[in-house]
Amino acid sequence: MRYDLVLMHPPSIYDFRKRDIVAGPISELVPSTGVFEMYPIGFLAILSYLNSRGYKVRIDNIALKMLSSKRYNFNEELLKLDTEYIGIDLHWLPHVHGALSLARIIKEERPDIKVMLGGFSATYYATEIMSKTKDVDIVIRGDTTEQPMEMVLAGKDMEEIPNAIYKTDGKTKDNGFTFTPDMDYQEFDYSEIIKSSIKTMDISGHLPYCDWLKEPVAMVLSTHGCAYSCGICGGSYYAFKNFYHRAGPIYRSSKRIVEDIMRINNELKIPVFVAGDLLMRSEKEIDYIFNNLKKEGMDVPLLMEVFIPHPRERMKKLFGASPDVSMEISPDSSNYDIRLQNGRPYGNKELEKFVFDFLDLGGKKLDVYFMVGLSGQTRDSSLDDVKYAKHLMESSGNDKRLFIFTSPLSPFLDPGSKSFENPSTGYRLRFKTLLDHYNGLDRGRTWEDYLNYETDWMDRRTIVETTYDAIDMLLKEKEQLGYIENEEYEKSHHVLETSRLAVRLSRVGDYGMMSKGEALIRNCADKYTVLKKQIMWGTPTTPEKKLIFMIYRYLHSSRK
């Protein structure tokens, strides 16, 4: 099949299967592995928008394919591909090595294909990408790129494409950054992923992340940007105002949010994660969203992120719409001054009331995240977070619905964030340019090598060692309080200490304990061996094989 556009998602480090590397302990911050194989929600928006207008577009998750099989060869797939354009996401900066490597290989193997980049990091570094690399033809800036990309595919004169910076006749031309539409025109239709999987007979290329079949979640995007300027966030108010041409956050309408959630509820029957804090909206909007979800019979689990602790009465409206609600909140530090310095404007009393109200109202699961590597944070204050975590668990009566985590700010401080742009915040950047970050990932062996910053309070080695100590201390507290069994603690402790030892040995040039990513590949590949057998035998009977059920249902309805 010929495609107008293939959307490719790269791994963080392109050659992770061959490299001797030690990835950082990213904990449960993201659902993907250390390869960061989860593609951005923007891929779904682009797929839905362009396919609904008659274009032939597909998603190709290269990172997941590399995880799924040691035999997978990107060059071989590329030679068979029939398309004029490939779009690569360079959204978050940890993908810079994978994104630029894909672009280089595409140009080496298929110079007839034009390469487009998009995403936050591509927008931030658009000028450098076009001036310092030879493998990218077009960068589309901004957080809403569907319409400019449609103009490209329609063959419009490149000078007419808003937000584009591109190469023509060996020269770079820049159309500026002026197009900033609202987001209500965007579609997030997960059925497009199912249809595309069937048409291409390629399931792994469309899955969002390795464990999606086991723990499927569909995302609903409620906003672009944020009302807060948290110091380390590249999606903050500060970043959007200064680098993404938004005077403030833009919001998806309440009507569209209800439609998005109910489409997933009715068609996919899997949990819904709402990105963006719905409880920060007006009372009128909150009432509209949750009353209509209740009226329309939402019966799938609802997962929500919240940016601040919310009053009990406001949360009750949410619980009135769904009996199965989970939340996540990131205070980052238990120290009020550090938290406030990094953009979290609330104290521990507010946090604790929120936690206990959520549990008392019948919440199913509450994730609370702390972080190592913040401005103003010392080793002692990082370890104090573990003591505070123990206090929270004990105060809740050791309620097993409360999940507390600590993890490193790794590997990069976000470009465009307040802390990246302002030395006065106490961060000392090791990498500033795009190629600095690429070379850091290309030459480094451990996550200590990849860290693009130190702070006035902790150097890199202290950040790394403190991270291992804090995670291990928290695991031990969980074991003593009955949150995890001793066997689970011992297993996690062993993994941590093995990783720590590998980092320490690498400092003196001993790389014998490093992994070539084989464990990650083996774990993910095993899941797809089972998946393929289920498809061949036509016996999709286990709950985690959600996608197979959807495919069979779609094929059945198509035959009718």
Check residue 125 and give its pLDDT: 98
In a domain, 263, yes or no: no
In a domain, 181, yes or no: no
User: How many Cβ atoms are within 10 Å of 327's Cβ, its own excluded?
Assistant: 23
**Confidence band (pLDDT; 50, 70, 90) for 327?**
very high
Q: Average pLDDT of the chain?
A: 90
SS3 category, 453: strand
SS3 category, 383: helix
Burial of 287 (0-12, 13-18, 19+ CB in 10 A): middle
User: Using one digit for the tens of pLDDT, what is the confidence trace for 247-263?
Assistant: 989 999 999 999 999 99
Check residue 558 and give its pLDDT: 42
Check residue 356 and give its pLDDT: 97
In a domain, 30, yes or no: yes
The residues, ordered by sequence, that sit 6+ positions from 88 with a Cβ below 8 Å of its Cβ are 8, 9, 10, 99, 102, 103, 115, 116, 117
SS3 category, 212: helix
**Which candidate, 172, 175, 146, 171, places its Cα nearest to that of 161?**
175
Please say whether the beta carbons of 187 and 49 come within 8 A: yes
In a domain, 159, yes or no: yes
**Confidence band (pLDDT; 50, 70, 90) for 541?**
very low
Please say whether the beta carbons of 545 and 214 come within 8 A: no
Query: What is the spatial distance between Cα 440 and Cα 431, in angstroms, rounded to a whole number?
Result: 8
In a domain, 138, yes or no: yes
**pLDDT, average across residues 177-198:** 90
Check residue 438 and give its pLDDT: 97
515 has a pLDDT exceeding 80: no
**Confidence band (pLDDT; 50, 70, 90) for 557?**
very low
Check residue 526 and give its pLDDT: 62
**pLDDT, average across residues 486-511:** 89
Q: Which domain holds residue 159?
A: 3-174
User: Using one digit for the tens of pLDDT, what is the confidence trace for 374-398?
Assistant: 999 999 999 999 999 999 999 999 9
**Confidence band (pLDDT; 50, 70, 90) for 19?**
confident
Please say whether the beta carbons of 35 and 515 come within 8 A: no
**Per the confidence metrics, is the pTM higher than 0.85?**
yes
**pLDDT, average across residues 4-12:** 97
Residue with tokens 């990082």: 382
Of the listed ranges 128-132, 352-356, 454-458, 546-550, the least confidently predicted one is 546-550
Check residue 555 and give its pLDDT: 46
282 has a pLDDT exceeding 60: yes
Check residue 262 and give its pLDDT: 96
In a domain, 95, yes or no: yes
User: Using one digit for the tens of pLDDT, what is the confidence trace for 131-173?
Assistant: 999 999 999 999 999 999 999 999 999 999 999 999 998 899 9
**Confidence band (pLDDT; 50, 70, 90) for 413?**
very high
User: DSSP secondary structure string, 275-304?
Assistant: ES-GGGS-HHHHHHHHHHHHHTT--S-EEE
User: Using one digit for the tens of pLDDT, what is the confidence trace for 333-365?
Assistant: 999 999 999 999 999 999 999 999 999 999 999
329 has a pLDDT exceeding 60: yes
User: Using one digit for the tens of pLDDT, what is the confidence trace for 25-55?
Assistant: 865 556 677 788 999 999 999 999 999 999 9
In a domain, 438, yes or no: no
Check residue 15 and give its pLDDT: 92
User: How many Cβ atoms are within 10 Å of 65's Cβ, its own excluded?
Assistant: 22
CATH of residue 37's domain is 3.40.50.2300
Check residue 556 and give its pLDDT: 44
* DSSP-assigned letter for residue 164: E
Query: What is the spatial distance between Cα 464 and Cα 448, in angstroms, rounded to a whole number?
Result: 7
**Confidence band (pLDDT; 50, 70, 90) for 543?**
very low
**φ, ψ for residue 526, nearest 5 deg:** -60, -40
In a domain, 126, yes or no: yes
How many domains does the chain contain in total? 1
**Confidence band (pLDDT; 50, 70, 90) for 201?**
confident
**Confidence band (pLDDT; 50, 70, 90) for 20?**
confident
Check residue 135 and give its pLDDT: 97
